[in-house]
Amino acid sequence: MAYWLLKTEPEDYSYFDLERDGSTVWDGVNNALALKYLRMMLLNDLALIYHTGKERQVMGIAEIVSQPYADPALNDSKRVVVDVRAVGRVNQPVTLTQIKQDSKFIDFDLLRLPRLSVVPISELYWQYLIELIGGTK
């Protein structure tokens, strides 16, 4: 199993929208490296849903429920999507400020590649983050 961080603008589609919908197609990824990461996703991988913009915090956990596939809305086989489903809202949102201030996250890709919308999370960083969020509701 692999772990991921998926960024979203909460005004466009928030973790609360994902909870309401149950599942969704994770689309709109344009960056070549982010698309490479999408192509690496497997069924049952887990992802933290991170709100960008003014919030800048981890809000929930999602599960990857499909293999990557070509975006059906586009005529470009290089643009892929995955289906995700809501697992649970975090008990305690973790802010970008908290992550930046914690020396455990010195090499975390969220900090190293701040503009990337799909970021892999090592098992070690995943465990740190799960401790900080205190589980899910």
Residue 50 neighbours by CB distance under 10 Å: 24
pLDDT mean over 64-89: 95
Contact 3, 122 (CB under 8 A): yes
Contact 43, 62 (CB under 8 A): no
pLDDT of the residue at 1: 94
- The residue extents of the domains of the chain are 3-133
User: What's domain 3-133's superfamily in CATH?
Assistant: ph1033 like domains (3.10.590.10)
Q: What is the pLDDT of residues 44-55, one digit of tens each?
A: 999 999 999 999
Closest to 58 in 3D by CA, of 123, 2, 124, 131: 131
d(CA 98, CA 26): 26
23-69 pLDDT per residue, tens:
999 999 999 999 999 999 999 999 999 999 999 999 999 999 999 99
